[in-house]
Structure 1
Amino acid sequence: MSIEQEAHSAAVQYATGVVAPMVVKAAVELDLFQRIKKAGDISAEELAAQLPTSNPGAAAMLERILRLLTAHSILSCGGGGDERRYALTAVGKLLTKNDEVGSCCATSLMTQDKVLVESWFHIKEAILEGGTPFERAHASKDPRLSNLLNLNPLFNTRK
């Protein structure tokens, strides 16, 4: 790959960098990683059947999400023909809900939380006018985000 191609690839990654983390957050919220862990391997159709959805397109949407997670080495994909079967990789196992050290489930929920993400939209103003991005986005503390921070092993300093 040429230097220009590598630069273009990196620029595209930066421009679309929010996509994979938001898909991971949705997968955590839908308990997809837990469901895949329990099944060992599973198809998008089988996952959709386990969800409380009335959306007839849920399996197709899940298929796209699962393929994206596979492209990011969070899942592996096997199976032949029309049915792909997905399983957790070592990375995917770290996104399951558990109390073990190293689980990134709470981190995913916290860092992609709407309240925290809103802060990122205020970096420019904080640089130009002062304050922090969080203060600019939210005049007061958010107890829900505080709880997420406390549940997150990376940010919880309580003993």
Structure 2
Amino acid sequence: MEMLGLNVVPLAVNSAVELCVFDTIAKSGEGAMLSTKQIASQIRSNNPEAPHMLDHLLRLLASHSLLRCSVSQQDHSHRLYSLSPRSKYFVTDADDGNSLGPTLALLLDNVFYQSWKEVKGAIMEGGIPFNRVYGMHAFEYPGKDQRFNEVFNKAMVNSTTLFFSHSICSLKLYSI
């Protein structure tokens, strides 16, 4: 049964990234604990149900250690959310503006998602799923679709920068 819902967590993380939830909590300072009402007000939602809806989303993320959740000590009536160690990968870096959010957006983009629907056809009849859907290689496609080009390039820049930043930090630690 668990396997049937495996796509839910990445989609929930992507929603939180798009809503700037991780950045909102991070900007509130080290160790900040925010209610969904506080988060909803900072993301400027006009929906009166936003805090309640956010709570469902953030509880899911907390259940996968992507956020921390605690109950308010003052009135015990609402939950407070804070960043977890795993959250840092989805907070936009203050120095270079990078996070894994754009990479996740690329992987969940409908352009890539449609390719998965052609895996069976590729196995049965041959070919590459992406090529079967779009008639070209995945690296050619961004030249034909400006929106996807931006998604693709942003993901590549962010993931490459993060990879090399972590590699350089590791090398510095190793050489000390």
Q: Secondary structure at the match of 2:45?
A: coil
Counterpart residue identity of residue 147, structure 2? R
1:116 match: 112
Moved more, 37-46 or 138-147: 138-147
Higher normalized helix content (fraction of residues): 2
The Cα offsets for residues 105-154 of structure 1, whole Å up to 9 and x where unpaired, read as 22111111121112111111111122222122223514433433333254
Report deviation, 1:155. Answer: 6.7
* Moved >6 Å (runs of 4+): none
- 5+ long unaligned stretches in structure 2: 162-176
Instruction: Provide the aligned length of Structure 1 versus Structure 2.
Output: 144
Q: TM-score, normalised by structure 2?
A: 0.73
Q: Which amino acid aligns with 2:92?
A: K
Partner of residue 39 from structure 2, selected from 30, 37, 47 = 47
Distance verdict in 2 for CA 1:107–1:130, change over 3 Å: same
Percent identical pairs in the alignment equals 34
SS of the residue 1:94 aligns to: helix
Instruction: Give the match's secondary structure for 2:122.
Output: helix
- TM-score scaled to structure 1, two decimals? 0.80
Which of 60, 69, 89 is 2:61 aligned to? 69
Preserved CA contact (<8 Å) 1:149 1:155: no
Counterpart position of 2:169: none
Per-residue deviation, 1:100:
7.4
- RMSD of aligned Cα (Å): 2.1
